Structure 1
């Protein structure tokens, strides 16, 4: 018992030291591209979301956690004030039903701002554009600039090549589209496409709207200037494609989103697993050793043979051999053996391929043994000889 307490105390001290070290050690930078307004990591959008009330003065800003189909139902009233619906994500994902609702929503006079690297093919075909990659050969960096004629020409914004290499190519028949931004290679990356009474604002550089670039002194004005093209009106900021529906998070997702809680959860699971392993070894019953089964067939045959040999009951042995022979005829040749007449002899001889004379001699010997009360050893030997000859001939 004393050894067990010492072991438990040592384990508790090690666990406490581990928790303290993990709590105070420097946290590594999380470079995941979440684009979520709750994340303060480099590629979250917490800073931009907090700045939206300053960009759209005196207008409400709402975080949306509903699918597009459900959210746009709020605007069913034709007298409702138009809204700016903002999407910032690595990939803009909507199905055909959601896209149809979004197109109808914009057609009524609302605006949809979508910044993503990938767009649904159906949306590209509907609005007349395509997404590709910049043809510039330089692989280290690229500059972004705005081309709207009414916007003052700011200095170009320099970005790493891999963060701003996606481009938007407009169809030649799309004459209503307005190019709002390009890169230093001359490729378009920001456009305005009128649709009905509203507009689609499409950007292929979503990383430019993340915390890392919004707080960068050399790039902090790009997101504000890009959103300044939209009219000042209420804003919906989509979080459904990044966080899911409201209330869909489970307790495990909350635990795993914090390092300290996640480590506590993993340590608890590990401790329970170790407890089960060690405790199962202590309480498991000993499995008995079973000897390998022995083949006692030969011993059985030897015992039965000795029994009949010592008793000298030749009549009983002969009757058993005859019964086995008749059963053999019934199973293999499907004939009734109640009467051993000449007709049965002919059928057995024809089916077994044995001479009729030999079958006749065997049947005569069987009838003789059945009619005799006492049987000599020589007669039993003759019966056995004829039966063995029959079996050999029929087994060929």
Structure 2
């Protein structure tokens, strides 16, 4: 095992130890967010209610992880029963299924502070703020229950139903109720009833820890008949209890598997990276390109000899070869016809092409007198034509 592999291994171990120590030594932080999750023991979770709900409903409670639409999809006959929805986003199709159950004699209790289904609008009910105080008191309209009020001293929602019609029975209000607001209402639908409560805080751990507050909870559920209750808990909301990134990752199966895959991939990378660096790859000198040096040598030889005629002839041969190869023109006869064809192919000036033909003919004439200036001129013209 070489030094690089040891170094990577030590760094990895140190990082893991630091993460574990941070996780173990972190201070507990109270999460005051309203999550309404049954597994949460934070102040506004529903852990206590989840534990007490079966007893509260006389052991006739059934939790359903499906949506109402999926659960009632079979369209079979159901005995009248209670339906419980807590902070649940209900789609239109699910609500249609629930309404069918209610019309046949079932009762539904919806407890939510922001997501109520269609009947709210259809009955001209509006959910809005009815109290702006930091402390609210929920109290029943029934005189027999007037002593079982509930004081909300932590983050009350302060929402209620306004413009309540005569067909709606108000069961509970806030302490500032002035005939335009209510938090717990009931109305008839078919053979059953629909209940709406706009303050789910009375279900949370913080308020249920007091036995006095639990009385309000019992009275709310006492309005439901003593029969089987279906609690639909299927929910897309994420729990906000994760107090650190690592605990949040480990609490979610997809993220947990991704984390393990990352660690395994890191170990594999370290292993192969270290193994790959164990062998020293020899540095091989690349082969030198002698072509440029050869061309330079030939050019210097021609310049030393001063044979400009031969250089012009070779340049002319190369040019005509390129014309035949790239432009597909016959170069046997270099006349006006050839010049016009070359002009069409290249788009160059016809006068310049005719001048180039004169110089090419001169280069191919073994008895012509050629000067250095002729070579330079022909080289520039031919390069421009094929450039």
Question: Could you give the per-residue CA deviations for residues 84-116 of structure 1, whole angstroms, max 9, x where no partner exists?
Answer: 111122xx3122211111111111110111101
Partner of 1:143: 137
In structure 1, distance between residues paired with 2:127 and 2:220: 19
Q: Could you list the runs of 5+ residues in structure 1 that have no partner in the other structure? A: 245-251
1:79-228 to 2 correspondences below 5 Å: 80-89=78-87, 92-120=88-116, 122-134=118-130, 136-138=131-133, 140-148=134-142, 151-160=144-153, 162-170=155-163, 174-186=165-177, 187-228=181-222
For the pair 1:284 / 2:280, whether they are aligned, the reply is: no
In structure 2, distance between residues paired with 1:180 and 1:212: 23
Partner of 1:384: 375
SS in 2 for 1:162: coil
Structure 1 residue 360, shift from structure 2 partner: 7.5
SS in 2 for 1:282: helix
Cα distance change on mapping 1:87 and 1:341 into 2, 3 Å: closer
Partner of 2:298: 304
In structure 1, distance between residues paired with 2:29 and 2:353: 100
In structure 1, distance between residues paired with 2:299 and 2:329: 31
Is the Cα contact below 8 Å between 2:36 and 2:204 reproduced in 1?
yes
Partner of 1:249: none
In structure 1, distance between residues paired with 2:174 and 2:287: 84
In structure 1, distance between residues paired with 2:142 and 2:22: 55
Please, what TM-score do these two structures have when normalized by structure 2?
Answer: 0.71
Partner of 1:61: 61
Is the Cα contact below 8 Å between 1:142 and 1:161 reproduced in 2?
no
In structure 2, distance between residues paired with 1:232 and 1:98: 24
CA RMSD, aligned part only? 4.9
State which drifts further: 110-119 or 339-348: 339-348
Partner of 2:24: 22
SS in 2 for 1:324: helix
SS in 1 for 2:235: helix
Question: Could you give the per-residue CA deviations for residues 40-93 of structure 1, whole angstroms, max 9, x where no partner exists?
Answer: 443333433443444444x6211111210232357732xx4311111122xx31
SS in 2 for 1:131: strand
Partner of 1:248: none
Partner of 2:229: 235
Partner of 1:321: 315
Question: Could you give the per-residue CA deviations for residues 129-188 of structure 1, whole angstroms, max 9, x where no partner exists?
Answer: 222122x343x2111111136x432253210363231212245xx431111111012131
Cα distance change on mapping 1:95 and 1:75 into 2, 3 Å: same
Structure 1 residue 300, shift from structure 2 partner: 4.6
SS in 2 for 1:109: coil
In structure 2, distance between residues paired with 1:226 and 1:321: 105
Structure 1 residue 225, shift from structure 2 partner: 1.0
Partner of 1:51: 52
Paired residue total: 361
Structure 1 residue 202, shift from structure 2 partner: 0.5
Partner of 1:362: 359
